[in-house]
Chain A
């Protein structure tokens, strides 16, 4: 059974960089697409970006200038960095596997941007 677990600070100050890790078990990240998706409180889902097993990445154009997604195959983890955060970046952040559709999701982690 594939499982994903997000980890990282739950509170980030404005203008700083949000950093999250996603640890994958039950599958190798050396296949499929691996993605980050977020959901502001009470709002809908927003795709942030993905990393392909080959190492290629693609980001939401609205976030592209601030986002970096990377992978550490030795730890079977992939990571998200979002720079220059503001209150508008407060959201539940999900990591996920993409096969035909987004078929496995982490439980999500709430990141609040506040001083």
Chain B
């Protein structure tokens, strides 16, 4: 059971917009700790997609965006492409655990 809760799977057709939620609590996201998002393509190491809740590293397309409100954060992907099919993870810090924590991951299927 992960401290940060993500839906196990989401799907969408090419060109559509999807969102992936990451629900935490008052000891992590709700305590104003930053949320980061990672994309893991099959057989590859994770890649930083969004840092500091809303920021994209250089080279990440602007189709990817992050947001945060209260005890939750979201990753949105617009203009869905086949190459976006991957696992996505959120990550933050939890003060009650004194630990960095990951969400359980969400598998994105492009139909």
Contact = CB atoms under 8 A, between A and B. Distances in A.
Nearest to B45: A105
Q: Is the interface of A mostly helix, strand, loop or mixed?
A: strand
Q: Is the interface of B mostly helix, strand, loop or mixed?
A: strand
Interface residues of B, number: 24
A102 B36 contact: yes
Given A45-B89, A45-B105, A47-B99, A101 B52 contact: yes
Contacts of A50: 100
A102 B46 contact: yes
Contact of A101 (B45, B48, B99, B103): B48
A44 B51 contact: no
B57 A103 contact: yes
Contacts of B45: 94, 105-108
